[in-house]
Amino acid sequence: MDRHRRPTVLIVTATLLCGALLMAASAAPPLRELRWTSRAADGVRQMTRRPGECLVRPSEQDGALSLEIGRAAFRSPLVLGGAAARAGLSCDTCHRDGRGNSEFQFPGLSGGPGMADVTSFHFSPHRGDLLDDPRPIPDLSGPKALLKIAQSPESGDLERFITGLVVEEFDGQPPPDRVIRGLADYVRALDPAACPTKDALITAGDVLDDADRAVAAASRALALKDGPSALVMIGSARSALGRLDERYTALPVSRQALSEADRQLLGASEAVRTGGPDGAARLASWQAEEPRLRARLKRDEGRSLFNPTVLSAAVQ
């Protein structure tokens, strides 16, 4: 048996090594997120483990939809706009899983790890103050009393704050009302009492879940005839597929599957944008085919950059 297996094992090992070397040969880090991760940090650990969400899910249906819309928007770089969006930053960049990010370090924007100067001209012409005054990134899942914006739904303060953040701090377009409300509801639903006790390995399934949940939220927004919110959700799902794609750089079959899944979503967004009749059908079709994509990604996951060993080789 060993005699038969050995060449295959060697080829797999060599292919893995080859893929890792190819990625290492490139000057850019293999994952975009590493560009704004402190060099002092354990980048591999940071890219392969997540703190876990401290989310309390509402029982009623409307609240659940709003939370899902907020959750997807929170993870989409397209929401912020301006230079931040072009760099690939989303709310989740600074607030991983709705928490903080002690290893965030963006050149020119962070004094030290875990800090950000939100009044820099780097991202926007609106709130710059010419002072280099980075502040610690708050943990959105920490005690509510420590957060500077009141979160009661009645006041609407949080919605106004988030809108100002997108439009003025990041020079983005005002998101649709339902998305703003969703972002606020998502932040409200973060509760320190609900935090997991340990961090967890990031899996391809987790990221595909993000895409899947965003597509489900898009379908429901569309059912409410809210095309603009549905487009934000589809954009978020596509971003999640992009995050998967960069982990499968050396695995062409999985990449092809991801590319096809993305093209389906592009078609759906075109249909939604033009008011075509088949937007909902396209999203349903995507969801129907998602299990095949999931299985494909699962097969290759051990050879992808979700595997800390493979990522470690690619980073060096």
Partner 1 sequence: MTRLLLVVVGCATLGLASSLPLAVLASGGGGGGGSAPSASGPMYDPAAEYQKGLEAISNGKWKDAQRAFTNVTDAAPKAFEGWFMLGYAKAGGGDPKGARRAYERAAKLKPEDIATRRELAINLARIGETEKARSELALLQGRAATCAEACPDAALLKSGIAAIETALVPPAQAMQPTPQSFVAPPRPDQGDQAYADALMLVNQGRLDDAWSALGEAELALGPHPDILTYKGYVRRRMGQTHMAEDYYRQALAIAPEHRGALEYYGELKVLQGDLAGARRLLARLDQVCAFGCPEAEELRRWIATGAQPS
Residue closer to partner 1 by CB (options 52, 82) is: 82
**Binding to partner 1 in span 234-253, by CB under 8 A:** 235, 238-239, 241-242, 245
Q: List CB contacts of 66: < 8 A, sequence separation 6 or more.
A: 178, 181, 182, 185
Is position 229 an interface residue for partner 1 (rule: CB under 8 A)? no
The contact mask relative to partner 1 for 25-54 (x = CB under 8 A, - = no) is xx----------------------------
User: Is the distance from CB of 119 to CB of 128 less than 8 angstroms?
Assistant: yes
Which one of 78, 207, 214, 222 is in contact with partner 1 (CB under 8 A)?
78
Contacts 24+ apart (CB under 8 A), 269-276: 269/231, 269/234, 269/235, 269/238, 272/218, 272/222, 272/227, 272/230, 272/231, 272/234, 273/227, 273/231, 275/227
Q: List CB contacts of 166: < 8 A, sequence separation 6 or more.
A: 79, 80, 81, 172, 173, 174, 175
- 184 closest CA partner among 155, 143, 216: 155
Cβ at position 150, least distance to partner 1 in Å: 30
Is position 10 an interface residue for partner 1 (rule: CB under 8 A)? yes
Reduce the DSSP state of residue 245 to 3 states and report it. Answer: helix
- 74 closest CA partner among 61, 55, 48: 55
Residue closer to partner 1 by CB (options 22, 295) is: 22
Which one of 2, 4, 125, 193 is in contact with partner 1 (CB under 8 A)?
125
Q: Which of these segments, 50-58, 80-88, 180-188, 303-311, binds partner 1 (CB under 8 A)?
A: 80-88
Is position 290 an interface residue for partner 1 (rule: CB under 8 A)? no
**Binding to partner 1 in span 168-187, by CB under 8 A:** 173
Residue closer to partner 1 by CB (options 123, 306) is: 123
Give the residues lining the site for partner 1 (CB under 8 A).
Answer: 7, 10-11, 14-15, 17-18, 21-22, 25-26, 77-78, 81, 83, 85-86, 107-108, 120-125, 128, 130, 173, 235, 238-239, 241-242, 245, 259, 262, 266
